[in-house]
Amino acid sequence: MKYLQLFIIAFVALLHIYFMILEMFYWDKPRGLKAFGFKLEDAKISKTLAKNQGLYNGFLAAGLIWSLINTSNIKSIALFFLCCVTIAGIYGAYTTKKNKIFFIQSIPAILGIILTLFT
């Protein structure tokens, strides 16, 4: 079960690296427009905010990667960042009214929390 825990933490980290790249570099490009369902005009207006949001996703990914590298404190570091991801997903789904965010962001993090608590 330890390998599954490490896999899920790495998976959540990779998801957030992907989110960071989409938000910071592709927000107003075809890939970003498709991923977020924006029109080009709207994406251009919110581009600066998206870059900031992407940076925060990068920090979440960095924290999860740190938990994988710092094996002596993996449990506490991973739990902190997985809880941050879970809360961000819940808040994102609530404020945007897009439940997809909860399933993509929070569910893998919740699975990681469960595995970290019981491993």
Q: What's the pTM? A: 0.91
- Tell me the pLDDT tens digit for each residue of 11-25: 999 999 999 999 999
Which one is predicted more confidently, 1 or 95? 95
- Tell me the pLDDT tens digit for each residue of 92-103: 999 987 888 999
User: Which alpha helices (H) appear in the chain, and where do they start and end?
Assistant: 2-25, 30-36, 40-45, 47-69, 74-96, 99-101, 107-117
